[in-house]
Amino acid sequence: MSQDSVSNADPTLTPALDADLDFLSGLHEQVLTEGGGADLVQVLAALVQACAESGASDDGSRAQAIVASLDHDTTARLTRAVTVHLHLTNLAEERLRSRSLRVEDGEFTGGVDAGGVGEAITALSDEVDVSARLQELRVHPVLTAHPTEARRRAVTGALTRIAAQLDRYDDPHNGPAEQAVARRRLLENIDILARTSTLRSTQPEPRDEVKTMLTVFDHTLFRAIPRLYRSVEAALPAADPGRAAPHVPAFLRFGSWVGGDRDGNPHVTAAVTRETMAQQAEQALAQLHATVERIARTMTMDLLWTPPSDALLASLAVDAVALPEAFAKFAKDSPDEPHRQKMLVIAARVAATRAQRADLTYHEPAEMITDLRLVQDSLVAAGDERTARGELQHLIWLVETFGFHLAELEVRQHSAVHEAALTELLGQLGDPALDPARAAQDIEVLDRLATQGWPRTVVPTTQRTQEVLDTIRVMAWLQQRWGTSCCGRYIVSFTRNAADLAAVRALARLAVGDAPMRLDVVPLFETGADLANAVSILASWSQLASTQAWLDSGQARAVEVMVGYSDSAKDVGPASATLTLDRAERELVAWAREARVQLTLFHGRGGSLGRGGGPLHRAILAQPSGSVDGRFKVTEQGEVIFARYADVMIAQRHLERLTSAVLLTDAPELAAQREAAAARYADLGRIIDTQSRGCYRALVQAPGFADLIAEVSPLDEIGELRLGSRPARRSGATSGRSLDDLRAIPWVFSWAQTRVNLPGWYGLGSGLAAVDDVALLREAYASWPLFAAMIDVAEMSLAKTDRGIAQQYLALGRRPDLAEQILTEYDLSMRLVLAVLDQRELLERKPHLHTTIRLRMPYVNALSHLQLRALRMLRHPHDPRTGDRPDEQAWRRILLLTVNGAAAGLQNTG
C-alpha cells in the first residue's frame, strides 16, 4: 500500500502530507500482516495499482478481473482495508490543513480572495467605516443533523486517538523512547480502527444526533470563537489587542436544526425539542461555569495594587447578603481580592442557574454580562487593562455568542402538515358554508383566526395535529425558561403560497392563545416554481394584519427568507438552479427595499456539489448586491461539519473566511463590478438557464428514469446505513419509484456512489453549447463571480466523476438510451468546462485540490469496482457472469461497506 506509485509522482504533494501518508500506510500494512492478512495486502496493492494505471480510455478490465476472482469474505475484508486507508488519508490531510491555515474546501488560494479578515479590512478601509460595519455584522451558521456523515462515532474516536499519537510522534521535543511509545500506540489504535465495524447496528435517534452536535461546541467552538474575535480585533487599524477596549462585537450566532427539524421525521417530537434545549443549556452553562472558575483562580490581584471601583464594592455588599454562607467562604479564601470574590460569586450564580435554583439564578445572559462588565470596568479604572481585556473579554464574548442556550433551536415543518392540521380543526367550526380544506388555504380566514382567536370548542382529534400544537407550546415554554433567543424561528418548508405562512400564526393562536411568545415565521422556497413566486407570496403575506403586528413588534421590521439549494437543483438542474436562485434573491432584495423591511437571506446549502456545496467564501462574494448587507445565515451539515469544525484552527479559519466574505460582499467597488458584470452577461445567463433546464428536465422526466437511479445505485439500500434519524423519503416509504418523494440528500448521495455525479453538472454542457461563443464564456468567467462559481463547482464535480466506471454502473439499469443521454451530456460538459477554463485537464490551476483527489481516486475506484460486483450480485443474480445464486445477505453487507468507504473517500457526497 505504499504511496510511491500513486502520490509521489505528483510534484504538488506537500512533503508533510507525503510523509504522514507513507508512515500511516506502513503502519496499516503492518497491522494487516500481523492479523494474518499478508495475502490481503498483496491483493490490495494489485487492485490499487490497476486502478491507478487505468486511464480515461481504459475499461478497467484489470481491476474487474481482480475483483471477480474474490469470494465474498475476501471482498468484505478488502473493502474494510480500503476504507481504513481512506480514513487515514483524510486524517493526514486534516493535519496538513490545520498546519497551513490557508486551506478552505480543499484549495490553497492567495491574496484578498484567500479570505483573511486582515485582507478584507484593508480592502474595506478606504471605502467604508469598518468599525460601523462590524457593529452591524451578523454571521449565523446553522448546524443540521448528519444524514450524510457515514462515520460512526467509534470510528471518529479511533481517528482522534491516532491523530493525537501522530502529533506525539512528530513532536521534535520528544526523544526516541517517547517516539517508540507513540508508534506502539499508533499501531494499537490503527488495529482497533481496522477491527471496528464501520456500519451502525441501530438507527440513530434524534437524541444521538444531539450528542454528536454538542461535541462540536464542546471540543471546538468554545475555543475557536474567542480566537476568531481576536483575529478580527488584531486586523483593525491602530488596534491594541488585549489592552484597549475591543471594537469587535460578538457578531457570531449559531443555530441548530438538530432536535427541531421535524419535516418528514416523525421521530422529532415536542418532547425531543424540549429535551434538546435542556441538553444545550446544560452544555452552555457547564462550559461557562468552568471558564468563570478558571478565570477566577487567576484574579489574585490585591486591593492595595488594584483597588476595586465603588460600583464593585456596592455589588459585593449585596452579594454578602444574598448568599451569606458562600460569600463568607469566598472572602475567607480570597482575602483582599475583591475582583476574584466577584468572579466566584458569578460562578456560584451560573451553577445555580444550571441547577435551577430560583434564589440565585441568572434569569437571562444579560444579567451575567452586566456582572462581568462590572468586574471589567473596575479593573480598567484601577489601571489593569491587561486583565480586563484578556481572558475576561473572551468570557464576555462567549456569553454574548452562546447565551445560556448554546445555539438557537429552530423548528421546521412541511407546509402540508399544517394544511392537514387546519383542515381537521376548521371542520369543527360547524359552519355549513365553510369548506375546511378550502378554508385551510384561505389567507383571510387564517389571518382572522390568528388575530381574533378560535372558538374554545375546537380541539385536535388526531395525534398528528396534537403534535403540531404541542410543538408551538414547547417553543413558548422554552422561551420562558431560557429567553426568547433560544427557540423562536419556525421554518415552513415547501412554502407554496401566503396561506402556508399565515397557517403557522393561526395554529399558534390556538396553541397558546394571546400569551406572549416570539414566533418568527420563515418561508423556505425550494423548487424552481416556488422561487419564481417568492416575491408575490411575501407581498400577500406581509399585508396581513397578523404579519403587520409581528413586524411592528420588533425593533426592526425584520424578515428572514430561506432559499433551498438542494431541491431547486434536484428540480431544475444545477446550472438553472444557480441562476434561478440569483434571480430570486435579486427580486427579494428589491421587494424588501420597497416594503421597508430588513431582509436576511438564509441559504440552505448542503455539503455536496449538487446541493450548493463548494467553496463558501467565493459563493458569498458572488451573491447579488444587497442580499447580504452584513447578515449571512447558512446551513452546515453532514461531513462538512466535521471537515470545518473538528479542529480548532480549521474552525477558526473557516469562520474567519466566512466573516471576511460577508464584510466584503457589499463593499462599494466590489459590488459595482459584480453588478456591472451581471448586467453585461444577463442574456448569456438566460440562454444557459433555459437550455440547461430543458436538458435536465428532459432526462428526469423521461419514462423509467426513476427506475434507473434505483437500479444502478445503492439508493434503496442507503437507508440500511442508518446515517440519520430521518427517513430517506418524505412519505417514510423505504423504497419506491417517485423522484418527488425522494429527498435531495439520498438523490445526490446515490449519484456520487455511481461516480456519475449527475446533480453537480448535468445540463451545464447544453447550456454552454447554446451560447456558442467560447471567448464570451471565458470573458464571463473572468469577470462575473456567479458564473465563475458555477463553473468551478462543475469542475470539482466532474473531477470526482469517472466516465469508465460510471458507464459500468449505468449499464446495470439496462436502459442504453438513458445511459447514452447521460454520457453524451457528460462529454459535452467536460469539453466545454475545460474550454471555458482554457485548461487541458480538470483542476489544472487548483494544485492542492488536484493532488488530494488524485491521492484518493485509486482507492475510491477500487471501492467502486467492489461495489459494482456487489450490485451485480444483488440486481442480476442469475447473470451468467455471477454463476449460482449468491449469498444475498453477505453481498448486501459488502455493498453497504463500499458505500461507507466511498463516502469517506469522496467526502462531500451529500
Q: Which of 267, 350, 343 is nearest to 301 (CA)?
A: 343
Q: Provide the residue type at 53 as one letter.
A: E
pLDDT of residue 616: 83
Q: Cβ neighbours of residue 585 under 8 Å, at least 6 residues apart? A: 563, 601, 623, 624, 627
Our answer to whether residue 800 is catalytic in this structure is no
Our answer to whether residue 146 is catalytic in this structure is yes
- Produce one character per residue of 246-273: b if its CB has 16 or more CB atoms within 10 Å, e if not: bbbbbbbbbbbbbbbbbbbbebbbbebb
Q: CA 187 to CA 153: how far, in whole Å?
A: 20
- How far out from the chain centre does Cα 482 lie? 25
Query: With respect to CATH, is domain 411-604 assigned 2.80.10?
Result: no
pLDDT of residue 111: 34
Q: CA 804 to CA 800: how far, in whole Å?
A: 12
Q: CA 513 to CA 609: how far, in whole Å?
A: 44
Going through 605-697 in order, the beta strands assigned E by DSSP cover 631-636
3-state helix, strand, coil in the chain (%, to 5): 65, 5, 30
The C-alpha cell 423504497 sits at 735
Q: Provide the residue type at 793 as one letter.
A: V
Q: Which of 390, 164, 408 is nearest to 299 (CA)?
A: 390
Q: CA 877 to CA 524: how far, in whole Å?
A: 44
Which residue among 85, 87, 146, 603 is the active-site one? 146
Which residue among 418, 570, 800, 865 is the active-site one? 570
pLDDT of residue 107: 39
Q: Which residues of the chain fall below pLDDT 50?
A: 1-12, 102-114, 148, 610, 725, 732-736, 910
256: enclosing H helix or E strand:
strand 255-256
Q: Given the DSSP bridges, would you call strands 408-409 and 255-256 parallel, antiparallel or unpaired?
A: parallel
First to last CA, the chain: 29
Q: Provide the residue type at 428 as one letter.
A: Q
pLDDT of residue 4: 37
pLDDT of residue 201: 66
pLDDT of residue 887: 85
Q: What are the extents of the domains in the chain?
A: 411-604, 678-906
pLDDT of residue 218: 93
Q: Give the tens place of pLDDT for each residue, 153-182.
A: 788 889 999 999 999 999 999 999 999 999
Contact 693, 266 (CB under 8 A): no
DSSP 739-785: TTTB-HHHHHHHHHHTT--GGGTTTHHHHHHHH--HHHHHHHHHH-H
Q: Give the tens place of pLDDT for each residue, 284-297.
A: 999 999 999 999 99
pLDDT of residue 734: 46
Q: Given the DSSP bridges, would you call strands 107-108 and 103-104 parallel, antiparallel or unpaired?
A: antiparallel
Q: Cβ neighbours of residue 185 under 8 Å, at least 6 residues apart? A: 161, 165, 168
Question: Which pTM was predicted?
Answer: 0.91
Q: CA 406 to CA 438: how far, in whole Å?
A: 41
pLDDT of residue 741: 64
